A and B are shown apart, each in its own frame.
Chain A
Amino acid sequence: MATKWETVIGLEVHVELSTETKVWCSCKNEFGAAPNTNCCPVCMALPGALPVLNARALEYTVMAGLALNCEIPHYAKFDRKNYFYPDNPSNYQISQLDLPLCINGHVEIALADGTTKQIRIQRIQLETDAGKLLHAGDDVAEADSSLVDFNRAGVPLIEIVSEPDIRSAEEALAYLNKVRSIIKYCGVSDVKMEEGSMRCDVNISLRPAGSDRYGTRAELKNVNSFSAAARGIEYEIKRQTAILEAGGEVEQETRSWRDAKGVSVTLRSKEEAMDYRYFPEPDLPPVVLTAEEIDRIRQTLPELPDSIMHRMMNEYGLSAYDASVIVAEKEFAEWFDRTVMLAGKASAKAVANWQTNELNRVMNARGLGPDQIPLRPEQMAGMLKLIEQGTITGKIAKTVFEKMIESGKDAAAIVQEEGLTQVADEGELLKIALEIVTANPKVVEDWKSGKASAVQWFVGQMMKATRGRANPQLATKLVTEALEKHAGQG
């Protein structure tokens, strides 16, 4: 009988904090600068240099911890993690071992089957990023030599370590998205995996379903995107299952994910496992936070996605789906809130509708990121007002919407320039209806013989004649009137 295997996953997420300066020195924390232009004795580990903790890095770490429901211990300290590597100027990393800044947090994730699950967070520690290595030929294994850029050395990093509560690639993705979203909302990082401001290592093992003992885990590094995480997990599940089914044992080791080839390879075996020789950092005093200080930082937290979602659902009656699309990115939620503020609470559902459908579609088609919303809240609110006032029809609105994005102009301006005002004058509409009816005797016959679609057709013609500006309800009413009148005339 085949064993049913349960996947046990823990994730270590590294996030670069978006402080102005590095964590131990005042060099700029800046992505994309020319190599080695943001360096100083401290981050270059020149002899005699000493670290000084960036107050904002401390604050951001505590914010992230609070946002992830962590406890903030009264006392925290730093430790040296010792290992040699060219991207690490001092050949030790200042990190936190036993007394990190945040512990015992959790996030709630929503799964496709409609259920929610809590994933616990073990700890969040503040540590130091390393420089960047460029390998001749891009592959470290092949390269003859490597070049080191220390701009990134010293950038503040928080490492968010989850408990091994995750059970599938789906849960892993949900967790990653949730954490990313919350961190982004806090404003402490721009969490862009493609720029390296968010990275992820996966710890994965299998055990017989129902067992409460942990299997041997493999650590998967070099996972460069969320989708790569999912692919890596699926591969590991297959790889480890095959080993276990054949009666073998999974090696405890560190593996590297090779996304292009879709495989993981051994990086370091257990025997080669690093002995980091941690010891308390003698150059840095401990951090002691009072309840008041922690509270002060808590007050600076913005509204977080879950809370915003619930508010939208309760206050505006949005569906869970719409609310979740809107809170997916902080910029979307802000855009929504601003638009609703301008357009009025009663328009909330309409705003949501336009945002999750039309705007979403346009942004996806153009590959625009959340910081590139191509429409201003003022524009959206303006257009909704015109619809509400009856100045334009729903159908014309779609055109106006496109044109607002193209031109950047306000709805009112576009409507005026292009003469898109709704035609709602009954007299005028009737006149047009009569003209069309008179001109199309054949369709009139259809109508007489009971064809319902005939009315539709006439309405369509009215739309054509008015270049879409006719109020649809009125058009239908007046077409019917016109037909009856015409029929009456015999």
Chain B
Amino acid sequence: MKISDSELNEVSDDECSQLNIDININYKQFELAMNLPMPLKGITGIFGHSASGKSTLLRAIAGLEKNLSGDITLGKTNLVNTEQGNYLKPEVRQIGLVFQNSRLFEHLSVLGNLEYAVKRCKNRKLILNEVIELTELTTILEHHVHQLSGGQQQRVALARAILAEPKLLLLDEPLSALDQHSKIQLLKMMLNIQKQLNLPMLYVSHSLDELQQVCDTLLVLSQGKVVNFGNIHQVIHQLNNFGENALIHQQTSLSLPIKQFNNGHGLTVLALNAQQDIYLTSDKTFESQTQLRCFILASDISISLTEPSNSSIVNHLFGSIKQISYIKNKVLLTINCAAQEFFVTISAFSQQKLSLTCNQQVYLQFKASAVRTFIH
């Protein structure tokens, strides 16, 4: 896709690099209260369980949530300020939203749906055919909406939202109704589009795996309140220590450079630091990447006091225990391997047997298949 730099700047100039949200939304059964300045860069994930307020937040930003008090400002544009009586209607906010259920217009063809957005777009910097290619819709343009598969519908919805040339694109669980193959395809498409158009996105999902693959920043909501916001790996690691009512499966979230795509035995080698590597099962999709996002569940790592030898487990890392926390019958260990934190859960029984203490030097071991990527 050929887009000059000047056009890129038009689509997303500096003025919308920040989203300031200070709102209260009250319903009988549910309350959302948040005050957060969010720098918008790349794809920002919004994670939470159902009724955490994720979708309500997106609807508030888009202007679909009327029952709201407070202020939302995107860049220099005030979207809503209830004190001053400001309220920008959704049709003039220049914010796109891809819904879970694509919400395509059934009386129009695929092309008709795309043209609907183009006709009402003021900038028209994007070229229709290029977006059609980017979202791989060329062969189904004349199809009726009801002839499309779920994955195709979401691709049309994504293309339609982009063609309105929003300053910010909101994605409300766009993958949740799709099969694994379509999920991966759409996720890659979103990453590609984000980079090509430099379009900031807010991506709501209850699947941490999805978010871990594409988001740089993560906002975590629980029961209408902000739990955490920041770098995705750091936020995930902080969630590990959330206590008894765990929001996520405890895990180590990594973004590492690929050292060797295939070591001749079907394994890919990631460089953890100058001395230590991590091995995982190769996938042909890694070939085009230099950096890989992956995660290792804390329950998939075990601890050994001596360096394991004669083991089929390929990953052995050396580190020192930084923290030991007891959660019910389990023990969560935070272990530093050079600068990288790893999270390991062992049983209270094992802890008693090994009597681990802080600053103790231990070996972590995990199988290559325990290193997971969503795009696999």
A-B complex is real = no
User: CB within 8 Å of B: which residues of A?
Assistant: none
